[in-house]
Amino acid sequence: MTGSTIKLSSGYEMPQVGFGLWKVDNKICADTVYNAIKAGYRLLDGACDYGNEKECGEGVARALKEGLVKREELFIVSKLWPTFNDPEQVEPVVKRQLSDWGIDYFDLYLIHFPGALKFVDPSVRYPPGWHHDGKSQIVKSKTTIQDTWRAVEALVDAGLAKSIGISNFQAQLIYDMLRYARIPPATLQIEHHPYLVQQELLNLAKEEGIAVTAYSSFGPASFLEFGFKHAEALVPLLKDDLITGIAKKHGKEPSQVLLRWATQRGLAVIPKTSRPEILAQNLDVNSFDLDQEDIDKISAKDSGIRFNQPSNYFDTQKMW
C-alpha cells in the first residue's frame, strides 16, 4: 500500500489519507472515483446514504480493468444506515452494497450513526434517508447498539468485512461497547476540525487502540449548502488568518495545513473534491511538518461547534 498507513487493531493497514464520497453527484461519481484512484488515492469512503455506491463501483471497475490498481491495493469503506440497524437487516443490506460496488468484501464497515431507525424496505426507497415516509416522519426502532454490533461482528466471520468500526459515537457509548464487543471497533469516524476538536474523545480512542478518521476537515465549508446559520456565521477555515499565515510559512495551501494538523496528530483524513489539481493537493499532506506551536494554536480554536448533528437535518430533538 502506498503512502502513510495506520495499523488497525484488526491487524490491517488503513491508508491515512483517503477520498470522501458524500455529496459526489451521481453523474460525475464514476469518473471522480476513477480519477481519485489515478491520482493515487487508495482509501474510498462511501456509504449507503450517499446514494452513489453503484457509480463508485463503476469507477473502481474501470481502474481495476485498466490495471491502475489491484483490488487488494484498495481500501474500500462503507457504512450501515440507521434504518438497517435491526440485526436481521445488516447482512442483506451489506450484500446489496457490495453488489453495488461490484466487490465481495469491504475493507472497513462502520455503523454510520448510533440510533436505530425503523426499517424501510429497499424496494420502497433506497437509500432511505432519515424519514420513514420519505418526507417528515422520524420512526425509531427498539434495536440497541449491542444487537447491531453483534450483526456487524458476524460480517467479519462471514468474510464480508475485514475490519469493522463506528461513526458519530460519543465516549459513553464506546465505553459501553467495549464491555460487550467480541471484536472491538477498529476505527471511529468523527467530525473533526479546529472548531470541533473533541480532544477527550480522541484521548479515549488512543487509550483503547481505536484509530480515528476525521471528516469535514474544513469545518463549515461542507455545511453552507444546507443553509446552517452557525456555519454561515463563522470565519471560513480556509480563509482564517491563523491558517493562511501558517500555510504561507510552509508554501502550502490552507487546506493542506488543516489536513496536516489532523494527520500529524495521528488521525486519518478523507477530503473530497472533483477538481484534479485539488485531488493531488489534498493527497499531498504528509510531505511537511507543522511546528508544535502552530498545532497548539490551531487546536486552541476549538469552540465545540458541531455541524453534522442529525437533528440539524430534521425538525426534532427527540431521537438524539
Please give the angle made by the CA atoms of 57, 94 and 164, to the nearest 5 degrees.
Answer: 100
Please report which helix (H) or strand (E) contains residue 258, including its range: helix 254-263
Residue closer to ligand NAD (CB basis): 238 or 242: 238
Q: Residue 124 or residue 194: which is nearer to ligand NAD going by CB?
A: 194
Residue at grid coordinates 478518521: 213
Binding residue (CB under 6 A) for ligand NAD from 246, 282, 285, 301: 282
Q: Which of these segments, 2-10, 87-95, 127-135, 267-275, binds ligand NAD (CB under 6 A)?
A: 267-275
Bridge partners for 196 per DSSP:
193
How far is the C-alpha of 3 from the C-alpha of 37, rounded, in Å? 13
Q: For the CB of residue 123, give the shortest distance to ligand NAD in the complex, in Å.
A: 25
- 162 vs 192, which CB is nearer to ligand NAD? 192
141 makes contact with ligand NAD (CB under 6 A): no
Note the helical H segments in 171-240.
171-180, 199-207, 229-232
The one segment of 21-29, 33-41, 89-97, 135-143 that binds ligand NAD by CB under 6 A: 21-29
Tell which positions 26-85 bind ligand NAD, by CB under 6 A.
45
Q: How far apart are alpha carbons 180 and 32 in whole angstroms?
A: 40
Min CB(154)–ligand NAD separation in Å = 22
Find cell 469503506 and name the residue: 77
Tell me: does residue 87 bind ligand NAD (CB under 6 A): no
Please give the size of the binding site for ligand NAD, defined by CB under 6 A: 25
**Residue written as grid cell 431507525:** 117
Question: How far apart, in Å, are the Cα atoms of 43 and each of 162, 233, 268?
Answer: 14, 33, 10
- Positions in 160-219 near ligand NAD (CB under 6 A): 167-168, 189, 215-218
Instruction: Pick the binder of ligand NAD from 16, 35, 85, 281 (CB under 6 A).
Output: 281
* Residues ≥6 apart with Cβ < 8 Å to 210: 9, 165, 174, 184, 185, 186, 187, 188, 204
- Least gap, CB of 51 to ligand NAD (angstroms): 12
Min CB(20)–ligand NAD separation in Å:
2
Q: Calculate ∠ Cα 279-280-284, nearest 5°.
A: 120
Q: Pick between residue 119 and residue 169 the one whose CB is nearest to ligand NAD.
A: 169
The candidate with the shortest Cα–Cα distance to 316, out of 79, 81, 132, 125, is 132
Of the candidate spans 18-26, 52-60, 65-73, 129-137, the one that interacts with ligand NAD by CB under 6 A turns out to be 18-26
Catalytic-residue membership of 50: yes
Active-site residue identified among 12, 34, 41, 50:
50
Distance of closest approach, residue 171 Cβ to ligand NAD, in angstroms? 17
Helices (H), 41-86: 53-65
Residues noted as catalytic: 50
Task: Give the footprint of ligand NAD on this chain (CB under 6 A).
Answer: 20-23, 45, 112, 167-168, 189, 215-218, 221-222, 238, 255, 270-273, 278, 281-282, 308
